[in-house]
Structure 1
Amino acid sequence: MPNSVNTNVGAMVALQNLNSTNSELMQVQNRINTGKKVASAKDNGAIWAIAQNQRSTSNSLNAVKDSLQRSQSTVDVAVAGGESVSDLLLQMKEKALAASDSSLDSASRTALNEDFKSLRDQIGKAVTNATFNGINMIKSGGATIAALADADGTSKLTVAAQDLSLGGGNVTVASTDSIGTQTLAQNMITTVSTSISNVSTALSKLGTGAKSLNSHLSFVGKLQDSIDAGVGNLVDADLAKESARLTSLQTKQQLGVQALSIANSSSSSLLSLFR
């Protein structure tokens, strides 16, 4: 290779190597700063696209969890209201049984009847107040819950409403029923017993629905954690490895600067030929 003051091939090669080292060093520093080996599409387009799609799924699962939690709270309130109705029916049966005694005097029968009607009216209040977020599952024409079950919104987890209102399909005690006479009290025992059985069945369905919502919520949480871990495996940088590489590249950079300096000084050595 001829010696020339116009073209310094050694300096050009040294500069190319130094630029390459600087580029790698910048990449490593960016990974350390962000904690990611794929922080944008230009780092690795295919991996970035896969990770972005998985992030979309994970973010969508937040909406699924919110829907399941709201539904769970709605069902819990409905169950609490239903349990109150069941407890009130148990007390009403006790009053009806006591009022069926033919030996009762008028004052006692009247007192029992007043207690019965008070308990009956409390059922109506319990049903009306069993509302969460504007949704009541146990009133007449109550709302059926249909919670989101997947990230696409194509699957729903349904919990059917249960009518526990007075005079409805489950509570057969009417809003005007009383135990003012022995005959009414005797008949009411059967009516209340049937209502107790119906309400127990309805509460069983609500309880099963609440358990399903809780189980699916737990599953969705684990699924989201798995997806997030998978995204991390795709894009997160190994900081221990990057730290070791940073030290290596910094040393390489210093050597490159020195090599470029040596290559640049080679031209000046030609002057000695003309002395």
Structure 2
Amino acid sequence: MAFQKVLKKGFYFAIKNTNNTDKETALTAIILASICSYKDTKIQKEFKHLIKEFEKKRTEKVNLKNLQLLLQYAIVYFEVNEEYPKGLKNLIIDYYKVLSSEKITKELLPSFLLLTTANKQHISSKHVPFSLKIASNFTTMTKKEIGFLLNEIEQKTYHGLVSITNHPFKLITILEAFLITACSDYNLQQVSRILNALSYVNAPNSLAINTALTFLTHNQSTNGFIGYYEKEFSSLEKNQKVNKIGIQLSSTLQTISAMLTYKTGFRFYTSLGKNDKQKKYEMELIQTSIS
């Protein structure tokens, strides 16, 4: 019941910002609203109306800076309408341009790999459970190296779309240790990614996980956003411009998505690979764009 309140507060914080003039902020808000409406019939109806209005105002031009958000928006739109939004052709073509350039970043790579896989086959129906093998040396891992481990888990499990058959206790133990460290460092992004990883490897409930979930819940404001960054905001010089709402939305999106993933088995990328006809069309577009 308490978690439903977290979702509702997050939802109404998101819809207040869907008309934001900053496109990246607006996209983040609509994706957050979609996640918060998960399995809540009342706010799902509200969200369907919201996304129709949002789509009327959205421009089709793709900005490479927002490519990952546009990919996530396409997934959200598909879940509501069972088709992809206008401008997907540009999204796919620009996706391939990025892959063939030096503009790709480590943060974007997992989503790009997901899109590649989805264009080739059904992730959710054609993969069978597998035994997870990780190459990392857990005993010598540093804070910086934990990111590489999380990337490996995300990529091998396709962000949790493929289940695993083994129960990697050693891996779970090190993830839980870094989870508590991330909480003490007030690194909400890291807390969220580790919670996702623990869900993907089928980690059982534990004191460390419950502590992290409680920590995230207690960091939700009365306005609905998660993550207090007033100290960081106040330390900025007067001439420094910062998009506070954008930062709050991004933080809230990451944390609520991670909480939902662990607590309910929610998987954001489930719709990838669902539509045979659409996937055939996408592949034709890709061949056209790279030929």
Question: Which band: TM-score by shorter chain?
Answer: under 0.3
Name which structure has the greater RCO, CA cutoff 8 Å, separation 6+. Answer: 1
Is the strand fraction higher in 1 or 2? 1
Is the helix fraction higher in 1 or 2? 1
TM-score by length of 2: 0.18
Q: Which has the larger radius of gyration?
A: 1
TM-score by length of 1: 0.19
